Amino acid sequence: MPKGSLTCVGTGMLLAGQVTQEALSTMESAEKLFFLVHDSVTQEWLRELNPSAESLYDSYGEGRDRSETYAEMAQRILAPVREGKRVCAAFYGHPGVFVQPSHDAIAKARAEGHEARMLPGISSEDCLFADLGVDPGTRGCQSFEATDFLLRRRRFDPRSMLVLWQVGAIGIRDFRKSELWNRDGVEVLASVLLKTYPPEYEVIIYEATPYPVCKPVIHHVALAELGQAPITLRTTLCVPPLPDRKSDEAMARRLGLR
C-alpha cells in the first residue's frame, strides 16, 4: 500500500478568522481536502482555498445512527490516504473536541503505517471563556457531554464551574434536522441539577458566534426555567460555581502558606 498522510485541523468557530497559519497552509497544500463545517460561507471559502475540497456533511441521514455516519466519514477520509495522497480533514472548532471521525481516521491511518497527526484549533470552550469572561484557573472547570453526565452520574464539585455540552441532543443517537432534538432531555437535566443547586440559581445558555458581525448567544436563566429556555443543538450550558469553601489550614501549613 502506498504511504499517504493525514492531518486533521480545526477551522475555529468564527469563519476563517480563527484558523491558525499551520492549519491554513496544510489545507492549501493538501492533495485532497475534506471538511465538515456548519455554515455555507466557510464551505465556499474552503472550496476556493483548495479545489479538491469535499464536504462530509452528506454522510448524515435523517434517522441514521450517528456512529454509522462517523464510521463512514472516517473511511471516506482514509480512502485517498491509502492511495498515497496528502490528505487534510478540516472540522469546525477543534478537530479533537466532539469529532469522532478525526480520532478514528488518525488511529486507523497510523495502524496501517501512514503518517497522521492532529493540529489544535479554537474550540467552543475557548470562545466561552473569552465571551463570558471566566478563568478556568480561578475555581477550576469541569466539562462533560450532557448525555454522558446523566447516564454515568458523573461526580462533580459544585464549588467549581460546570460546563455541559450538547444539551440540545440529550439521549439522541440518530441525526435530525431540527434545531432542538430533545426538549424532554433538557427537563431531565434540570431536574438532576436541581438536586445540587437552588431553583432560582442562574445558569448561562451559551452559543459561540460564527460571524464577526454577530454577537454570541448569552442567556441568563433560572435553573428551574431551563426546560423552557431557548436551547438549540449549538447550546452549551455553563453553571457558575457556588460560593467557595474555606481553605484547608493544615494543608496551607504543609505548603508553607500563611
pLDDT band for 208, please (50, 70, 90 cuts): very high
Backbone torsion region of residue 171, taken as left when φ is above 0, otherwise alpha when ψ lies between -120 and 50, otherwise beta: left
d(CA 34, CA 25) in angstroms, rounded, equals 15
The pLDDT tens digits for 16-50 are 789 999 999 999 999 999 999 988 889 999 999 99
**According to the model, what pLDDT value does residue 16 have?**
78
Kindly list the catalytic residues. Answer: 66, 70, 92
> What does the mean pLDDT of the chain come to?
95
Residues 160 and 108 in one domain: no
Residues 134 and 70 in one domain: no
CA angle 119, 206, 195 (to 5 degrees): 110
CATH number for 67: 3.40.1010.10
CATH number for 230: 3.30.950.10
**3 state SS of 5:** strand
Residues 138 and 112 in one domain: no
pLDDT band for 114, please (50, 70, 90 cuts): very high
Reply yes or no on whether the pLDDT at 83 is more than 90. Answer: yes
Q: Is residue 245 part of a domain?
A: no
Q: Is residue 253 part of a domain?
A: no
pLDDT band for 153, please (50, 70, 90 cuts): very high
Residues 109 and 175 in one domain: no
Reply yes or no on whether the pLDDT at 250 is more than 80. Answer: yes
d(CA 119, CA 74) in angstroms, rounded, equals 17
Q: How many domains does the chain have?
A: 2
Query: Directed axis angle between helix 40-49 and helix 21-29, to 10°?
Result: 60
| Mean pLDDT value of segment 73-98 | 97
DSSP 97: S
Reply yes or no on whether the pLDDT at 212 is more than 90. Answer: no
Bridge partners (DSSP) of residue 142 are 162
- Cell representation of residue 258: 500563611
Reply yes or no on whether the pLDDT at 213 is more than 90. Answer: no
pLDDT band for 258, please (50, 70, 90 cuts): confident
Domain that holds residue 143: 124-239
The answer to whether residues 104 and 78 touch, using CB atoms and an 8 Å cutoff, is: no
- The residue written with cell numbers 446523566 in the block is 150
DSSP string over 220-249: EEEGGGGGGS---TT-EEEEPPPPPPPP-H
| Mean pLDDT value of segment 43-60 | 96
Reply yes or no on whether the pLDDT at 176 is more than 90. Answer: no
Question: Listing from the earlier edge strand, what are the strands of the sheet with 54-55?
Answer: 54-55, 32-36, 86-91, 5-10, 115-118
pLDDT band for 56, please (50, 70, 90 cuts): very high
